[in-house]
Structure 1
Amino acid sequence: MFMAAGGAALSAYIIKPVLDKIFIEKDEHMLYILPFALIAIYTFKSIGKYLQVYYASYIGLDIVTRIRDRMLEKILTFEIDFFNKQRSGELISRTVNDVERIKLVVSNMIPHLLRESLTIIILLGYILYLNPLMAIMSLVFLPLAAKPLSKLAKKMKVLSFTLQEKISDLTARLSEMFNSIEMIKANGVEAFELQKFKEENHLINKIGRKAVRTTEMVSPMMEILGSFAAALIIFYGGKQVIAGDMSVGSFFSFLTALFMLYTPIKTVSRLYNQLQDAVAASERIFSIIDREPQIKGGDERLHEEIREIRFDDVSLSYDGKPALKHISFTAKRGQKVALVGNSGGGKSSIVNLLLRFYDPDSGEITFNEHHIRNLTLQSLRESISIVTQRVYILKDTIASNVAYGRAIDEAKVIDALKQANAWEFVDELPQGIHTPINEFGTNLSGGQRQRIAIARAIYRDPQIFIFDEATSALDTKSEKKITEALENIAKEKIMFIVAHRLKTIENADKIIVLKEGEIVCEGAHETLLAHCEEFKHLHGLTQTEA
């Protein structure tokens, strides 16, 4: 940086001896020295620029890597409610696009700003040394630019923030579009989606043009002010040269330094405007990094055998809307507990509380004698495996999907696949458990995907299983085989089954019937058929659907 700035000043300085010694005094000796001095100056300057760019880029990349790591680390600590209310594309945009803007500042703008500022100081010192009066005259117009530059910077910050928000919206729309591509094509609404995309894309274009106009107004403004200064110096300096008070070399050296001085001043002004884009990006980034998770783990590790889970007068609401009301029940080791009820009854809310995706408004949930709030989130969730109706399949091999998050033990993977009734189709694949799966598992059937998800849950060997409509995509034969396998697994586990088809929970030790967030009945299958009207109603509905 010092080399680059010093090289710029030396470039202006060498004009004086070139003109005075070679062209006016006709000093042949200097003719052999100054060309080599010029080469040395520009070599010195170029090496300085290279070193500055290399090390600034290195630092910028390192900072960006750390910020991205820190952002994702923080995002992953946030509660489920945060993700339910945020669009995934927005989070992707902040993690990728906004952080990239910080990289441009650290690796490009700040070093450039420092180098140009240093160049200004050195050149300013040089023209003050050559002729203090002319130096003051040349800079008299600069204060006129202060107020307009300040206004442009404020406008640029607002435009940058708006532009980044709109880019986030566009990223979110693309994410939603590609995730819903089957629905889009099935409904023939490609033109409709394209039109919505175009509207947002054109709005970004419009805001971007405003930002360019705002940024580029700096350059002509500084050029015009510079021309007034140059005109004044040429007039006053020309009179000095004619009067013999100043040499031609000194005048041109001063004029060269002045032109070189206005270039970094103009650059610094423009960079200050562009920095507002990074300021807006940093505000969006640190709004995430500074946010505290609403669900925080305790200090107690759940390392012992879980004998009992107890809900004691638990209530829960989402944004003020009641979801569970005074729920109390106990689940013991070796029990299969089924949760049934109409949609909105509260089944999924109980699952959310077990995983501590949410905290109850009132009441207590305990694992053995440990209050759930006192347990570390890691040890709690390591004790639970969940399979939902919505199956999550990664773009990786079958083995990696089954062993997700853990080391791959091939024998254990195969055993889990067999228990999940998935080994038959996996064994027929050319690469077996090492067969790659497409994104979202598009090269597997719905039933195959669900069996892979069940195998993943079995592979974890947890103390608690949660099956939330986990066999809904399976045929009757596969469902029966998996149910039999789960019967064996459940002997040493606590198993929660959320079911719509009541046939799958006939052998449950306890069935909890929920309606509008309350437990209306609780007991074994036959007992409920005999004494619970709501269960009879649900049973009648499933019989009709069957």
Structure 2
Amino acid sequence: MEEKKYSSWNIIKRLLSYYSKKKNLLILSCILIILSTITEIASPIILSNFINNVINNNIFKKKSIILLIIYFIMLQIFSSLFNYLYSIYFSKLSTEIITELRIKMMKTALKQPMKIFDKKPISSIVTKIVTDTESVKEFYEVIVSSFLKNSILFTVILATMFILEWRMALISSIITPIIIIIIIIHQHYSKPIIKKIKNSLSKLNNTISEIINGITIIQQFKQEKNFIKQINIINNNNYINKMNILKIDGLLLRPLLTLISSIILSSIILILQLFPAVIVKISILHTFINYLRHLNEPIITIANQQTILQQAIVSSERIFKFIDSPSQIYGSNTEPLNSGQIKLNHIFFKYPQTKKNILKNININIPDKSCVALVGKTGSGKTTLSNLILGHYSVTKGTIYVDKKPINSLSHKILRKNIAIVQQEPTILYGNLIKNISLDRKIEQKKIIRALQKSQLQELIENLPDGYMSILGQHGNSLSQGEKQLIGIARILVSNPKILIFDEATASIDSESEQKIQKILLSIRKKSTVIIIAHRLSTIVDADMIIVLDKGKIVERGSHEQLIKKKGLYYSMYTYQKNNKSI
């Protein structure tokens, strides 16, 4: 079913459907193509008239000759003008459609479930949005415009040829089905190879992205040769596939020029041999030969554009499969939340395409405006649990309630407004401090400045050259880890969510920044439910409840004092850290 949905013909129909919103511009472009074609085929008729009257009949009228020359020049000028205008309008059409496609793809990417990003590298999505859309742009800019122009040109020329000499025109028209068969054969063999080329380019982008992002690790462990070897393997595969395409083009497309030229010459000779009594005027013969040349050009052009067409179809298939992929599913409940109460009832969870449950029978009741800490060794399920509360994943079994409502019933707007997270590595955008806090949300600047001040960022602001309007740079490389965390907290403070999750927020910051975050937390706890995923256990001793996870199960729960008295896993972890030992 899916193969049929993404067949070449269905993809072309879907691509052409984007013209429906731009009918006026398309009609104008088609009119310009028709005018261009008329002016183009009128030139041989004027030359034929010149040959017939001046050369054959020896009629040398100065005025007539001058008029013929003027007409001929004017036709060439108008032909060039119409060609130029239709090229401009088709480029405008293609650019508008590709912009629409890219926006649609970005909207799709932003609505994708988190599991998609677990399975696919980010660079593969970037390749689809940037590289594949460029291939599709050639479909609109080159293939469609060329097909329309050449189809009109072919039809008009063939009709004129039948009027001039129907027998020679009939023989010439036999070329058409031959070319169609060759195009179908070319499509059959080239499409699978072009798919391989596109996939190898995507893989190359992914590998280069990994190398650049992990350059320090690669150099540290002397893995430069291994990664160069990977690049060479991908490049060699790409080279082999491209050579195969060239071979197909060489066998099926290039010989067409010779073949068609031979057929043209043979048809003329055949007509003269079969019908010796037929007298063909020199003027008509000259016009016919000119038209035969023009008749071949559309066919040859369409045939030679098969590789571009197949590349566009393969790219379109990748784009449409991405656009058609399921979005993150949210509920329809738009009622505001009255509290930050959370209840996890018999929660089981496993990631897609895995058999083992990451979380097993999790039961937690978190009262409104309480502070709960999730602790445990690496891989115990802390971050997974926070992702379920954020609504990034759906549980395998059980139910999560937020303000006594099932989390899967809440709308996207309610969920994102009321549940927020401060990550271990907050993303810093290229822009000023105000923009990094607002994230283009409609928030008053005064409110943003107050949030920055509450986030203990006054010292940073004073040290920046332009204060609040200072550009932070790519990924905030000039900022310390603690400063990034405080900016992440400021983003949250402007929205006042009911539930706030701190994901290892103090794991890799200095003690001064940690103290600032602890001070901010005390004020946040008065208004919001706070969930802390902690590595430094010293930061969560004041939590109302500490939940200890191990291998996806809750093994202990209680306050800091209660868990210390139990002398279980938490006691062991806390004692190790207190003695400056790593777990």
Q: Same fold (TM over 0.5)?
A: yes
1:310 touches 1:367 (CA, 8 Å); kept in 2?
A: yes
Distance between the aligned counterparts of 2:431 and 2:356, measured in 1? Answer: 40
1:338 touches 1:511 (CA, 8 Å); kept in 2?
A: yes
Give the partner amino acid of 1:28.
Answer: F
Q: Structure 1 pair 37/238, CA: closer, same or farther in 2 (3 Å)?
A: farther
Residue in structure 2 matching 1:180, options 214, 236, 241: 214
Query: Which deviations, in whole Å up to 9, do the C-alpha atoms of 1:20-78 show, x marking residues without a partner?
Result: 11222122233222111211222232222122112211111111111111111112111
Query: Which deviations, in whole Å up to 9, do the C-alpha atoms of 1:286-320 show, x marking residues without a partner?
Result: 10111112x41111125132141111111111222
Distance between the aligned counterparts of 1:436 and 1:180, measured in 2? Answer: 25
Give the partner amino acid of 1:431.
Answer: D
1:292 equivalent in alignment to 2:317: no
Name the residue aligned to 1:356: 391
Name the residue aligned to 1:257: 291
The secondary structure found in structure 1 opposite 2:305 is helix
Give the partner amino acid of 1:313.
Answer: H
2:340 touches 2:498 (CA, 8 Å); kept in 1?
A: no
2:272 touches 2:278 (CA, 8 Å); kept in 1?
A: no
Name the residue aligned to 1:4: 36
Q: Structure 1 pair 273/18, CA: closer, same or farther in 2 (3 Å)?
A: farther
Deviation at 1:141, TM superposition (A): 4.7
Structure-to-structure mapping, 1:461-480, within 5 angstroms: 461-480=496-515
1:11 touches 1:38 (CA, 8 Å); kept in 2?
A: yes
Matched residue count: 545
Structure 1 unaligned blocks of 5 or more: none
Distance between the aligned counterparts of 2:252 and 2:71, measured in 1? Answer: 35
1:16 equivalent in alignment to 2:48: yes
Deviation at 1:145, TM superposition (A): 4.1
Name the residue aligned to 1:421: 456
Name the residue aligned to 1:312: 345
Residue in structure 1 matching 2:66, options 18, 23, 32: 32
The worse-fitting range, judged by mean Cα deviation, of 431-440 and 187-196 is 187-196
The secondary structure found in structure 1 opposite 2:147 is helix
Residue in structure 1 matching 2:427, options 392, 397, 400: 392
1:385 touches 1:457 (CA, 8 Å); kept in 2?
A: yes
Deviation at 1:189, TM superposition (A): 4.3
Give the partner amino acid of 2:244.
Answer: K
2:360 touches 2:553 (CA, 8 Å); kept in 1?
A: yes
Give the partner amino acid of 1:538.
Answer: M
Structure-to-structure mapping, 1:224-235, within 5 angstroms: 224-235=258-269
- Identity %, equivalent residues: 27
Name the residue aligned to 2:166: 132
Task: Report the TM-score, using the length of structure 1 for normalisation.
Answer: 0.94
The CA RMSD over aligned residues, in Å, is 2.2
Residue in structure 1 matching 2:571, options 530, 536, 544: 536
Distance between the aligned counterparts of 1:67 and 1:461, measured in 2? Answer: 36
Q: Structure 1 pair 327/260, CA: closer, same or farther in 2 (3 Å)?
A: same
The worse-fitting range, judged by mean Cα deviation, of 110-119 and 166-175 is 166-175
Distance between the aligned counterparts of 1:492 and 1:254, measured in 2? Answer: 87
2:371 touches 2:543 (CA, 8 Å); kept in 1?
A: yes
The worse-fitting range, judged by mean Cα deviation, of 349-358 and 424-433 is 424-433
Give the partner amino acid of 1:6.
Answer: I
Structure-to-structure mapping, 1:116-195, within 5 angstroms: 116-190=150-224, 192-195=226-229
Structure 2 unaligned blocks of 5 or more: 1-32
1:338 touches 1:505 (CA, 8 Å); kept in 2?
A: yes
Residue in structure 1 matching 2:562, options 527, 531, 537: 527
Name the residue aligned to 1:434: 469
Deviation at 1:376, TM superposition (A): 0.6
Distance between the aligned counterparts of 2:249 and 2:486, measured in 1? Answer: 57
The secondary structure found in structure 2 opposite 1:322 is coil
The worse-fitting range, judged by mean Cα deviation, of 357-366 and 192-201 is 192-201
Deviation at 1:352, TM superposition (A): 0.6
Deviation at 1:219, TM superposition (A): 4.2
Q: Structure 1 pair 519/219, CA: closer, same or farther in 2 (3 Å)?
A: closer
Give the partner amino acid of 2:386.
Answer: V
2:390 touches 2:420 (CA, 8 Å); kept in 1?
A: no
Distance between the aligned counterparts of 1:404 and 1:302, measured in 2? Answer: 25
Query: Which deviations, in whole Å up to 9, do the C-alpha atoms of 1:389-419 show, x marking residues without a partner?
Result: 2231112222222222424544433433333
1:215 touches 1:274 (CA, 8 Å); kept in 2?
A: no
Q: Structure 1 pair 66/224, CA: closer, same or farther in 2 (3 Å)?
A: same
Distance between the aligned counterparts of 1:212 and 1:11, measured in 2? Answer: 36
Name the residue aligned to 1:325: 360
